[in-house]
Amino acid sequence: MKKSLLKSKLKQIFLKHKLSKNHAEICSHYLTKAEILEAKGHGLARLKMYCDRIKAKVINPKPKIKIKKISSSISYINADNSIGYVSADIGIKQAIKNAKKTGIGLVAIKKSGHYGLSSFYAEQAVNNKLMVFCFTNAPAALAPHGAKKSLFGTNPICFGVPTGKVPFIYDASTSIINRGIIRRAEKLGLKIPYGVALNKKGKITTNAKEALTGTQLPIAGFKGSGLAWMVDILSGVLTGSSHGGKTKDPFDDFSGPQNMGHLFITINPKIFIGNRFVKEMQKNIKLVKKLPKAKGFSNIFYPGERKNKTYKKNLNKDISIPAKILREMEKLNAE
């Protein structure tokens, strides 16, 4: 399906589910972008979930989002249980605005939901020549180190910085693979990679359904567990949102809103060394790229390069949509 047609169909679906034109545009844009980036766990596989939550009145299609000014640098947003794309889009734009005024922007968001890829928002800040950190919590999926029950989300860490060329954007979950990949595999009857999740009995499984009722494994053992905990504090505790395993699973728990939290930190990278920053950044990248290559490597990529190549490669290609998801889209459009 052509990108423009997909985006139009998605917008129509969100409008039918009572989102405003602006909010429907934001959501359809980010879902389409996830597909172009081949981040399919954050793409169309989640569409039905968003619509189901709107119908169940646990996502508010007409939120009254309030931005509280704490200082010229700091803002606190009550998202009023909006769909996460909308609150995060508002939040990063506010963080950019604050940083342009004062050199630093700090924005906390509460009463939000799943917002897709953190890189969506980091990219906006970097395109405005800012350094950025993005944090968001998520439903319980990882067992803290030493525990046998899931508590932390797959809580991604995202960092971006301008380079004068392709942006440097590191966006990674604190689990070996993100939960969206497992959700999509379960929906389409696919296996997941070996060694990324355990079943209820604590044994490694490649069965997506077993993984969803078991626990995912963190990156780097106790280090990944510690990072997931850090993000739980930054985006959950600090923002006044759900934390410590209290974030509701958007696919399985319709007992109320998710109350997810997001935290954006934007920094003008010129505040200390002025215009030298980009030159030093380019020098830093060149030093890494000139290193002797390990066996099997012809290039050393920095975070964001591969994703940029994927985006450019797929930008004008048709988007392949599995038959099951196409049927879901048709049904949602008919409602």
Residues 224-283 pLDDT 10s: 999 999 999 999 999 999 999 999 999 999 999 999 999 999 999 999 999 999 999 999
Q: What is the dihedral of CA 21, 27, 29, 32, to 10 degrees?
A: -130
Q: What is the mean pLDDT of residues 63-86?
A: 98
3-state helix, strand, coil in the chain (%, to 5): 45, 15, 40
- The contacts of residue 29 (CB under 8 Å, 6+ apart) are 7
Is 152's pLDDT higher than 80? yes
113: tokens are 């939901």
Q: What is the mean pLDDT of residues 3-22?
A: 97
Is 332's pLDDT higher than 90? yes
Q: What is the mean pLDDT of residues 31-35?
A: 98
Predicted confidence at residue 32, as pLDDT, reads: 98
For the four alpha carbons of 89, 95, 96 and 97, in that order, the dihedral sign comes to positive
| 142 within 8 A of 216, measured Cβ to Cβ | yes
Predicted confidence at residue 148, as pLDDT, reads: 80
The proportion of the chain whose per-residue pLDDT surpasses 90, expressed as a percent, equals 97
Predicted confidence at residue 95, as pLDDT, reads: 98
For the four alpha carbons of 215, 221, 226 and 227, in that order, the dihedral sign comes to negative
Is 335's pLDDT higher than 80? no
> Average pLDDT of the chain?
96
Query: In terms of C-beta density within 10 A (0-12 exposed, 13-18 middle, 19 or more buried), how is residue 283 classed?
Result: exposed
Predicted confidence at residue 156, as pLDDT, reads: 96
- For the whole model, what pTM was predicted? 0.94
Predicted confidence at residue 334, as pLDDT, reads: 87
Q: What is the mean pLDDT of residues 211-236?
A: 95
The answer to which of 33-37, 61-65, 128-132, 179-183 has the lowest mean pLDDT is 179-183
The proportion of the chain whose per-residue pLDDT surpasses 70, expressed as a percent, equals 100
Is 86's pLDDT higher than 80? yes
Q: What is the mean pLDDT of residues 9-16?
A: 98
Q: What is the mean pLDDT of residues 115-138?
A: 98
Predicted confidence at residue 102, as pLDDT, reads: 98
| CATH fold for the domain made of 176-217 | Wheat Germ Agglutinin (Isolectin 2); domain 1 (3.30.60)
Is 320's pLDDT higher than 80? yes
> Which residue matches tokens 């509280």?
68
SS3 203: coil
